[in-house]
Structure 1
């Protein structure tokens, strides 16, 4: 098993990162390193917080996690730092701003969905209560009908059939 220096790993990972955005198989072939090793390095780098896109070479093909990570990285930056970051990563500032806006809207939508969910649960609870009341009412009516039927059978057994009704 080969051991690679930290500098070599970082140099290889830079090829996977923006703006180069080479795919793992391309880098593996160019560097003579197995794809499994590169996937492992990329996974470890992501866990450390680096932005290493997995799909496509265009930023619009990045996963939402990668886009969110870019938004987090750029949030505290000044405009000059932000511009330099975008140039370094091969991004347009408008893209990052759109991602930031999408993140903010996602949280707003979550609150709205939560409110809607609470309203739906409340309506469902009311519906259940109404159905339970109706069920109790019907159970009482059924019990009353059964009692009347039993009484009429007992009365018939005691006094016989009432032929006056005919």
Structure 2
């Protein structure tokens, strides 16, 4: 990329972001800059942690680093400031809240995660035991019903009853 000032680079990056949301080829045609230069500029901004979208325009498709950068930028904002920030970036406050919760749960201590996994495994084992017990009970009931039918047929054959149930 030829030598562009930091202000020029920032202006180009802003045009890639919402609300303008231009694609790299569109911006390259408008500004007379090569697409390769713009892709390199975007990659540099992503490496620094800036919330720059990739080729996909949906914020949910952003990288984890970009989402984390948005969470950090919005951490100290009030509800009004957050709404205004979201409008500028083309986001919804609910998305930012979801990303914040994902960051918090990702930072849960290893001990708490292991404890939660143990509790889930315990609950799963209990459910498996209940299902196996129910399956054994139903197998026994089915075997008993089959035995009764066989004995009834034998009894009917012995007494010579051809279809009567006695």
The TM-score normalised by the length of structure 1 is 0.59
Number of the residue aligned with 2:108: 108
Could you list the structure 1 runs, at least 4 aligned residues long, displaced by more than 6 angstroms after superposition.
Answer: none
The gaps in structure 2 that reach 5 residues or longer are 118-166
Number of the residue aligned with 2:25: 25
In the TM superposition, residue 112 of structure 1 has moved relative to its aligned partner by: 4.5
Number of the residue aligned with 1:46: 46
Deviation string, structure 1 residues 5-63 (Cα, Å, up to 9, x no partner): 33332221111122333332332233221122112212332344421111411111111
Partners of 2:71 and 2:13 lie apart in 1 by: 21
Q: Which has the larger radius of gyration?
A: 1
Number of the residue aligned with 1:5: 5
Q: Judging changes above 3 Å, is the alpha-carbon distance between structure 1 residues 28 and 103 closer, same or farther for their aligned structure 2 residues?
A: same
Check conservation: 1:55, 1:62, Cα contact below 8 A: no
Partners of 2:4 and 2:73 lie apart in 1 by: 28
- Across the aligned residues of Structure 1 and Structure 2, the Cα RMSD in angstroms comes to 2.7
Check conservation: 1:68, 1:103, Cα contact below 8 A: yes
In the TM superposition, residue 116 of structure 1 has moved relative to its aligned partner by: 8.3
In the TM superposition, residue 98 of structure 1 has moved relative to its aligned partner by: 0.9
Check conservation: 2:46, 2:66, Cα contact below 8 A: no
The gaps in structure 1 that reach 5 residues or longer are 118-166
The TM-score normalised by the length of structure 2 is 0.59
